[in-house]
A and B are shown apart, each in its own frame.
Chain A
Amino acid sequence: MSSQANKNVDIHDEENYDPTVWVPKVNSHGTSDIWNRFWILLGLTIIDVGFYFILAPGMIRNIIFIVLGIVKAWFIVGTFMHMKHEKKGLSYMIIFPMILIIFFLVWMMYEGHFWETFK
C-alpha cells in the first residue's frame, strides 16, 4: 500500500521535504572496517578475562574494566551503529548525557562504599 504511494514521491528529495517518507541517500562503507572492529572487541574481551585472573581485586582493576568497557562501547557505537558517519550535532546529543552517567556511576560506587559503616 505504502509502496504504491512512494512511487510518485522522490524519497531523497531535499527541496520538497516530506518527513513521512524522506530518507537520506546512503552508501556502503565496506566490510573491512566491520571485521577489523570485531577482532578488536574480541581481543578486548580476552584482555578483560586475563586481567580478572592476573590482577588482584580492587579499585585499580575496576577502573581498568570500566575504561575497557568504554573503549568497547566506543567501537560498537562508532562503527556498528554508524555514529562516526552521522552529523556532529546528533552524536553530541547522544554522547554528552552518557558521559554524565559514567561520572554518576563512579560517584555512586564510591558513595556506596561509605554505607558499609552505617549497617
Chain B
Amino acid sequence: MSTQTISKLSIWRGGNSPFNVSYGKLMMWVFLLSDAFTFSSLLIGYGAIRYSYPSTEVSQIESLELSFGENIQEKFAAPGVDAHHGEHFIPALREAGIFNELQWPSPDLVFNHFPFAHGLHLPLIFVSLMTLILILSSVTMVLAVEAGQRADKKAVGKWMFWTIVGGFMFLSCQAWEWTNFITAGAEPMSNPFGPPAFAALFFLVTGFHGFHVFSGVVLNVIIYINNFKGTYEARGHYEMVEKVGLYWHFVDLVWVFVFTFFYLI
C-alpha cells in the first residue's frame, strides 16, 4: 500500500500527535496560556487604574533639579543625618505636592535606590539589573535544554546550576526591593507616594510574579537533582528539562511586561 510510506506525522490520520509534541509538553503550553491570561488580567487592571489618574507633570519633576547619581541625602536631609528616604526625600516631595493621592507617582522618584549606594538618586538601574539577571538565567536554561537534546548529562547539570543561581539572585533582588518599598512606608492599603492602588497593585503583581519565580526555582532544583541521579539518562530523553524550561522562560516573559508596565509606563 502506498500509504504505508507516508509518515503518520506528515498527514494526520489519528493515533498519534497532530502537533508532533508529547502529551506533557502540550499540556505545559496550555497551562502557560491560561497563566498568561491570569497575568494579563492583572496587567489590564493595572493599565485601566493607572490611567484613571493623571501622570506626574514633567515640570514638577524638573522643579526638583535632580541629576542622575546625585546625593539626595545631602540635598534633603539635615546636615550630618543618616536617614532613609522616608524621613527626608518623601516628606519633601509630599510637601511640594509631587507625591499626592490625586496623581500617579513617577517611577523614577519611587524606585531610585541601589544596594551599597545609600542616598544616591539612581532611578531604574536596580530594576534593569534584575531584568538582566532574569534574561541571563533564561539563557542558561535554554543552554541546559540544548544540552539535553544532545543527551549531555554533565552539561545539563552545569547549566541548570547557573539557572538556579540566577533564580535565587532575582528573588534576593526582589526581597531587597520590597524591603525598601515597605521601609519607605508603603502598605497594601496606603502609601506615601500616591493613590492607595499604586502600592496595592505593586505588591499584588510583583508578588504574584515573585511567587512564580519561587515555584520555578523549586522545579529547577527538582530537575537538577533528577538529572544528577540519572533519571533522564535512564528514560532515554531529557524532555522534562524542556518542559520546566518553558515555564522558566514564561516567568522571564512575564517580567518583561511587569518591567514595562510598572517601571516604564
Contacts and interface: CB of A to CB of B under 8 A. Distances in A.
Interface of A: 2-3, 6, 11, 14-15, 17, 19-20, 22-24, 26-31, 34-35, 38, 41-42, 45-46, 48-49, 52, 56-57, 62, 65-66, 68-69, 72-73, 76-77, 79-82, 86-87, 89-90, 93-94, 97-98, 101, 104-105, 108-113, 115-116, 119
Given A23-B237, A109-B47, A80 B52 contact: no
Given A62-B265, A87-B19, A90-B19, A26 B149 contact: yes
Given A65-B260, A101-B36, A109-B50, A80 B131 contact: no
A14 B7 contact: yes
A70 to B, nearest CB: 9
21 contacts: A19-B22, A22-B16, A24-B20, A26-B237, A26-B239, A38-B135, A49-B128, A52-B124, A56-B58, A69-B256, A69-B257, A76-B253, A81-B250, A94-B33, A104-B40, A108-B47, A111-B48, A112-B49, A115-B48, A116-B53, A119-B52
A97 B135 contact: no
B113 to A, nearest CB: 16
A contacts with B: majority SS: helix
B51 interface: yes
A21 to B, nearest CB: 9
Contacts of A20: 23
Contacts of A28: 146, 149-150
A77 B149 contact: no
B143 A31 contact: yes
Interface residues of B, number: 69
Contacts of B21: 24, 86-87, 90
Contacts, number: 168
Contacts of A66: 260, 265
A36 B164 CA distance: 22
A81 B245 CA distance: 8
Interface string B137-152: 0110111011001100
Interface stretch (B77-85, B204-212, B228-236): B228-236
Given A45-B128, A45-B131, A112-B50, A89 B19 contact: yes
Given A28-B146, A80-B138, A11 B132 contact: no
Contact of A57 (B58, B131, B235): B58
Contacts of B259: 48
Interface string B233-265: 011110100100110011011001101100011
